[in-house]
């Protein structure tokens, strides 16, 4: 699979099946608290260490959608890039993301419909090589 460059956006005719991009992010306490503020999700499993210690996770976990939101960053800023519109996304949360984890979010083009200007991707987040989020996305290229 090929990796893209620092280009800001791709036209539909510049894309090809197999194009891929990975973005790595360190999940910090500030990241999780900021996501809680923006999303309004103040579930104590994300924010309260004492509460989280009594759950099956044993410590605080990041919001699942925090990991999922990394795909939006890639789609809107790099691949396909500026101007692209998120049409749909499916996500399966396979493992928790913990504070302190380095998450690698990868999108890969699987299909292109030039007539409808739609691009289809697999989406995946991993931590230390283990899949934590799996999914698929559809993006419209204006």
pLDDT tens for the 142 residues of the chain, in order:
344 456 678 999 999 999 999 999 999 999 999 999 999 999 999 999 999 999 999 999 999 999 999 999 999 999 999 999 999 999 999 999 999 999 999 999 999 999 999 999 999 999 999 999 999 999 999 9
Q: State pTM to two decimals.
A: 0.91
For residues 140 and 87, give the distance between their C-alpha atoms in angstroms, rounded to a whole number.
Answer: 6
pLDDT for 2: 44
Q: Are 91 and 68 in contact (CB under 8 A)?
A: yes
From the number of C-beta atoms within 10 Å of its C-beta (0-12, 13-18, 19+), residue 141 rates as buried
Dihedral Cα 95, 70, 134, 94, nearest 10 deg: 10
Domain boundaries, the chain: 2-27+64-140
Sheet with 85-93, edge to edge strand ranges:
2-3, 19-26, 102-113, 118-127, 130-140, 85-93
Q: Are 128 and 26 in contact (CB under 8 A)?
A: no
pLDDT for 8: 78
The CATH code for residues 2-27+64-140 is: 3.10.129.10
pLDDT for 7: 66
3-state secondary structure of 69: helix
């Amino acid at each position: 699979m090929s990796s893209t460059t620092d280009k800001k956006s791709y036209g539909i005719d510049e894309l090809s099946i197999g194009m891929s991009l990975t973005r790595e992010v360190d999940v910090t306490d500030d990241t999780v608290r900021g996501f809680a503020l923006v999303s309004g999700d103040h579930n104590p499993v994300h924010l309260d260490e004492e509460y989280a210690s009594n759950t099956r996770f044993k410590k605080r976990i990041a919001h699942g959608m925090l990991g999922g939101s990394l795909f939006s960053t890639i789609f809107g800023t790099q691949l396909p890039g500026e101007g692209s519109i998120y049409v749909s996304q499916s996500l399966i949360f396979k493992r928790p993301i913990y504070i302190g984890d380095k998450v690698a979010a990868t999108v890969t083009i699987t299909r292109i419909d030039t007539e409808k200007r739609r691009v289809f991707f697999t989406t995946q987040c991993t931590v230390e090589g283990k899949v934590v989020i799996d999914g698929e996305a559809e993006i419209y290229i204006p």
